[in-house]
Structure 1
């Protein structure tokens, strides 16, 4: 058994979290014992009860050991109004983590004269936000690599303009506003919203649940939590839907042959029977799940594999490139792939990201039953029912108006300029009602002299002259996509005019201001210097003023997380070693 020699100060972390919540005007009441109901809205921060005093030698009694891993012990509390379900409370013992994340540096400033075009794949994943929330609720500052700013921004629902007709599945809206962290700079906010389907219009689902039942999944925040979430998913099945279950550990097994939603009792019994133990033959599990999905493929249905795992593949194919090649080859089969990550300590988020980006899929992180309910029940339409494949975005900046730009986030989604028109290049997918937000920080053309020294042999005068005819345009936005089942892409375009800019940030729409606050917080968590002088308090103030109706409480929860991060920062709390 591998042992770790360092822990974080639990009592100090718990005290900070309680202090952060108690000082927030809109915060929840003081935490109650673990047996009391938790916050009613999905994704709400969970109350942490101070641990009872105990001598130092007894701390080890609160640690669960499974296989070669050491993980926090978790307690459960019931969810108000949801019988027979409970929600996992955050761990009280904070351990050293071996979670793996993509190693990508933040996007830097790009000179328009040198590179006027920015191209990237859309991203509707939400895994990063849920993971960050869990770490902060546990009294830890998340690893910078765990913070993907675009996933944090896209976690929240926004009331962006809807498409006028289903013949064009997207509506694209833009706003220009002053940057709150850099005087003189502006932010270009690009919002894309897909049309939504009424429940009666949704096609049938042909789903294979591919469940990791290896030994590392035995802990309460993994397989037991997933089983509760899958029960919620099963309760929402319609008679025309079909579900199969494939499991993998040392080997693979079909725990449930394709079964219609009319036989919920059979599906629920199969879910309840799942247990964990053994190795992690993830590649073999993927192969078997795809074979089963293809065997029962329904051209009129949505065919999807949902992989639930902590991402640890240690038997069979382990090379991420080989796994990517296998999954990329399966895109043509019409079977989509979604991955739900769970657990903390050995989460292989880097692998999960690579696989979902190869498999026409999306990724989420399940840190509580409330998040499972959000992903598998409340957002079932957008998660399960695709309206467009290979969605790419490209922005061309006008050098007569913009000296430089910086795309905030999307580091793992960047594409080459020529990839935009190449229909063979894979990109992100969007489901019914999904929204995608992208934010650029731009430096006005008049500030170019502050950024770089002038060129000896000219300043790209030909490019500037060519841009004069479109002098009032800051940039030009293009969105390219394919309808499901089609191989040729379609195009949506719109200019962004300089005169459309808001004079003040406060005059911008609330949704856009809130997205900017989330983007600022993500950048701070990553340690990006651009927002070093923009404080947590200012971020919380901006977000709080833009909360709007906030019916589900997601935005109020965000403000509390910002204040938690501020408390941890002031106390000098350590992040992941």
Structure 2
């Protein structure tokens, strides 16, 4: 094995340990602090970690462990890969999630939001939010359930559960209009007096031969906290799979951090060099995440591809040994770097100390996405089947704004997206950052609405103003949906609008098929979050609503709902 060379980004940080043999270190491009390039990847010296957690972040309670369960899917339809590496049903005949004993799961960090409140359309007719294509909350909730525990409410972001799955949305025709927009309505299964309005976006599927070259920097946490079968070994599996999807026009660099940060692999397009460098990684030492991120961005800048994808991919349990002031500095640095076109994807691993709150925040600020990898199958899904949507952006700063007509809709609430809410004035402001959409990505948002004249959640106010003449004149419209986005190399947003006709509310039926499954996932998320507006709608109702499914991931969802049902504490008297 090629040696690691001693070096560090700060005199206060321990050196990366040396092993037998060695190569001379090379200076990092743009480095002013003595950081060195190293070849090899063994990091030594396990050290204690002084961790600081900022309020009001919530901690997960200890999780009991149960044996894995098997899902037979011999006849399942497996989603087609964005890179034509379609797995077979045989690959998924039995899925047994890893059984991991968490030594201290009480140190997991989540930053949950309260369930979105109900809005009165006459008083607040406009709802504005940034799109979200993260999926980390779903995989993390799956991990909790397979370990025999209902996930903590703060860990569940319903929109990430919904957007984990693909739906039957129209395919966009051209890259110039990079996604389609569709809307539909249905009667709410848990409340016959309300309706569910779904807004669906589908991104343009970028053909393999026309995608831009990629400059990727793998930023890998090799600290002692990653020394677990569900952490660094899974990181190596995930990134080896991604490396196998790259072409000769792409290049990869690898930066590691533990007690210090170092460059393990300079930019290369050689797949065997990438795989060899990944294969030699091992864990040990304390965590200096800030130094690693700073170095990774310098390497990305030094190898920038004009007109291509320039992205840092951070793989960690998020257990950064930095204080809250350093965390704020990290976020500020990432916000500045995104302006230069270098984006950030975060991949979370492991149990016991996963810092979900920080990793989601970093991805959001870095115009990237956050995924939690709990198994080799999930690694294959995120970085294999969905590589295009994970890496290649087709639209940025995507915002949605819905204006409800109070003559048709009396009250409404957005299911999920609590931490993506924007002010109404942010919608037309191109300086306000919002979510990005990758090639082939889908985004789904679901509103629960009360049609005018139906029993509402909030009683009519004594001094409520009468409806405006404009609202009454446009009573054929239930809502006006606006979408703003920028092309990847653009600074000025484009606008797409669509009208939701009131006739769709009057003709709405109980959801079926694809829509029913999306509603089931939304209900599942809200049930895990203890949303009291679900009434008595339980896990058994959700499983029935989801219906029979042929797709592997949807089959797995139904099994997880059943697991949640078995773990739910019985109500008093029953």
TM-score under structure 2 length normalisation: 0.83
In the other structure, the counterpart of 1:146 is: 155
Q: CA deviation at 1:96?
A: 4.0
Equivalences for 1:175-214 in 2 at 5 Å? 175-214=184-223
Gaps of 5+ in 2: 1-47, 50-60, 77-87
Contact 2:100 2:230 in 1 (8 A): no
Displaced runs of 4 or more, over 6 A: 24-27, 41-45
How far apart, in 1, do the equivalents of 2:266 and 2:331 lie?
26
Which of the numbers 462, 465, 477 marks the counterpart of 1:460? Answer: 465
Partner deviation per Cα, 1:252-299 (whole Å, 9 max, x = no partner):
000000001xx2121111101111111111111111111110111111
How far apart, in 2, do the equivalents of 1:147 and 1:41 lie?
31
In the other structure, the counterpart of 1:371 is: 378
Q: Does 1:228 align with 2:237?
A: yes
Contact 2:105 2:351 in 1 (8 A): no
How far apart, in 1, do the equivalents of 2:412 and 2:184 lie?
15
Q: Does 1:567 align with 2:562?
A: no
In the other structure, the counterpart of 1:63 is: none
TM-score under structure 1 length normalisation: 0.82
In the other structure, the counterpart of 2:390 is: 383
How far apart, in 1, do the equivalents of 2:187 and 2:244 lie?
47
Q: CA deviation at 1:190?
A: 0.5
In the other structure, the counterpart of 2:175 is: 166
Rate the CA distance shift 1:218–1:571 in 2: closer, same or farther, 3 A: farther
- Larger mean CA deviation between 307-316 and 486-495 belongs to 307-316
Q: Does 1:554 align with 2:553?
A: yes
Gaps of 5+ in 1: 28-38, 48-87, 573-577
How far apart, in 1, do the equivalents of 2:535 and 2:529 lie?
10
Contact 1:403 1:445 in 2 (8 A): yes
Contact 1:42 1:373 in 2 (8 A): no
Q: Does 1:218 align with 2:223?
A: no
RMSD over aligned Cα atoms: 2.6
DSSP 3-state at the match of 2:568: helix
Partner deviation per Cα, 1:358-390 (whole Å, 9 max, x = no partner):
111100000001101111111011111100000
Rate the CA distance shift 1:287–1:41 in 2: closer, same or farther, 3 A: farther
DSSP 3-state at the match of 1:383: helix
Q: Does 1:483 align with 2:490?
A: no
Rate the CA distance shift 1:423–1:42 in 2: closer, same or farther, 3 A: farther
Q: CA deviation at 1:449?
A: 7.0
Rate the CA distance shift 1:9–1:100 in 2: closer, same or farther, 3 A: closer
Q: CA deviation at 1:400?
A: 0.0
Contact 1:339 1:361 in 2 (8 A): yes
Which of the numbers 383, 401, 405 marks the counterpart of 1:394? Answer: 401
Q: CA deviation at 1:401?
A: 0.6
Contact 2:112 2:155 in 1 (8 A): no
Rate the CA distance shift 1:521–1:502 in 2: closer, same or farther, 3 A: farther
How far apart, in 1, do the equivalents of 2:283 and 2:509 lie?
51
Query: How many pairs were matched up?
Result: 503
Contact 2:180 2:201 in 1 (8 A): yes
Contact 1:45 1:137 in 2 (8 A): no
Rate the CA distance shift 1:116–1:346 in 2: closer, same or farther, 3 A: same
Q: CA deviation at 1:45?
A: 7.5
Which of the numbers 262, 266, 282 marks the counterpart of 1:275? Answer: 282
Equivalences for 1:148-547 in 2 at 5 Å? 148-260=157-269, 263-315=270-322, 319-447=326-454, 451-456=458-463, 459-461=464-466, 463-501=467-505, 503=507, 505-506=509-510, 508=511, 510-545=513-548, 547=549
DSSP 3-state at the match of 2:127: strand
Rate the CA distance shift 1:46–1:346 in 2: closer, same or farther, 3 A: same
Q: CA deviation at 1:481?
A: 0.4
Rate the CA distance shift 1:492–1:7 in 2: closer, same or farther, 3 A: closer
Q: CA deviation at 1:571?
A: 6.9
Rate the CA distance shift 1:345–1:111 in 2: closer, same or farther, 3 A: same
Partner deviation per Cα, 1:482-505 (whole Å, 9 max, x = no partner):
001111100110010121247464
Contact 2:300 2:311 in 1 (8 A): yes
Rate the CA distance shift 1:317–1:105 in 2: closer, same or farther, 3 A: closer
Q: CA deviation at 1:160?
A: 0.7
Q: CA deviation at 1:89?
A: 2.2
